[in-house]
Amino acid sequence: EAGVVQSPRYKIIEKKQPVAFWCNPISGHNTLYWYRQNLGQGPELLIRYENEEAVDDSQLPKDRFSAERLKGVDSTLKIQPAELGDSAVYLCASSSSGVSAEAFFGQGTRLTVV
């Protein structure tokens, strides 16, 4: 069974440009997470979806970040415009809704803003 798939793996853009990341969760997983990980830090939750509904986006910088999960499957995270401080690894994870379920993470997208 395929795991969580993210693309692209790497992205280099100039500041003020837009960028988008894509995530395909494990089939059947209702919950989807986007995290940001800065160098030397643990992942920080940006937004959490239950099916197509964003149930927790309190940590998402809404002035420049947006996300969507159409049809409750794939998800995209967008930054517009990107700033130098957005350079980080963006991780997607998914889990089923079982009380003892675990979350599975993708390989992440490493964003460099120059």
Q: Which residues bind another protein (CB under 8 A)?
A: 4, 30-31, 33, 35, 41-45, 48, 50, 55-56, 91, 93, 95, 97, 100-108, 110
Identify which of residues 20 and 45 has a Cβ nearer to another protein in the complex.
45
Identify which of residues 81 and 110 has a Cβ nearer to another protein in the complex.
110
Indicate the SS3 state at residue 86. helix
| CB of residue 59 to another protein, shortest distance in Å | 10
| CB of residue 32 to another protein, shortest distance in Å | 10
**44-71 b/e (C-beta count within 10 Å ≥ 16 → b):** ebbbbbeeeebeebeebeeeebbbebee
Distances (CA, A) of 54 to 21, 42, 47, 96, 113: 17, 22, 7, 16, 27
| CB of residue 66 to another protein, shortest distance in Å | 20
Identify which of residues 46 and 82 has a Cβ nearer to another protein in the complex.
46
